[in-house]
Structure 1
């Protein structure tokens, strides 16, 4: 009888440990599930990465990312912060047997951005899929709107080549749709479709 009791205690202690080691967790609904992971990339050196308000890592020249595995599947709050930049925050869903990836989009707190905003009324902001370019729609008054392209990582505005480009990026409505392609952006409004060729080396559009 004593042997049976000891065996039962041993099994009760070892089985959960083996399941934990194999990457299984007990959820808040008391369900057993396979774990997942998080992979966060911070483009700026010396960025602080927080997960659920807990500091996890400061990036450096050699390692600009954070990888956490064996996470219980659920939503996690990720914050990336660096002095001189606006904090980046995102809710990321971790799923069983999957690694959720995200790249922090860091916008400098720089006077150049203040110059862009000075005297302007932004009605919409759209970010490119690679999270490198910000398209800002500025209300000019009298029902007219103008599109500006801003590069966050180099902290610069793409200059307009000529008056024709400026006219092409002006719209009579704030209801526009952007289609981002490699070095090109198509802008559709109710009255026209404009093509903007983005030259990142010359910083022109």
Structure 2
């Protein structure tokens, strides 16, 4: 009679252990990939569902993160196993304006969020104290040229705003072109930077123009300033057109992108433009990033205003994901309100609401300060001030 061989216990143990390890590895892999076990609404059917993640950073860091009103973590962390769909994200830090946004979470993907938190008590510090007028920022946003009727060195001054030490006592503004016996540069009407930042186009008090070379320290009269501006614009737009040609952009936007109507972000991957829509004027941002960050739009509507209402003056914030808006008429009312807003139109937060002598606002490359022209003197002397955001 044939006898079956006895089971090999060692073999069974090895196979069983292997199966357990495979199952455990599969569970760990699925868990790490954001999969979770879920029951349906009736609680009867169990299924494995895919979830997403939310990575939240804040500047400054150390803020609490809430999802749908529930404390989830602190900033600069990743929140795992978030169900796909819309969620209300809120970032809160003592002493700073709260930040909130409805976000879209996608299965198996991480949504990255960086919250710019604005101090509720911004610090106002003088950058100049001997007077400043008609400030003009360089194309790289790294230098400011301005006029000063300083008692010792009246003329045109330049200060670096990219060294991270913007203050009256740490920054070193320098006079680059002094008043002469015949020409009062300190009373000029306007200053314009050349694209290469090597020259300044000066509109003098009498309406004449001069071109000042910052490197050679040479001055020459310019009889055709419009021709010079046109040449500068052609040089800039040629470089931009070469870049645009490589992108898949609709034709109507392609034409805007290479025009002076487009305001390009510091990263040179996004531009803001205006679009008429009936009685409304839309402010939109086109994002050419590849790949597009999760949750971002290619062509986003930031906000819209009635054409008949005063329009804000807008500049880009240094991170290329926010805009800085100046509302009001500072040149007329000597007052204005400055806001920061994300490019999707969310989190419009007030930065400054006080005396303002110019609607031009300049953002320090580090993003920690903005620079404004204002006055707190009975004499009416205007100076450049920094407003600390954090």
**How does the TM-score come out when normalised to structure 2?**
0.27
Larger Rg: 2
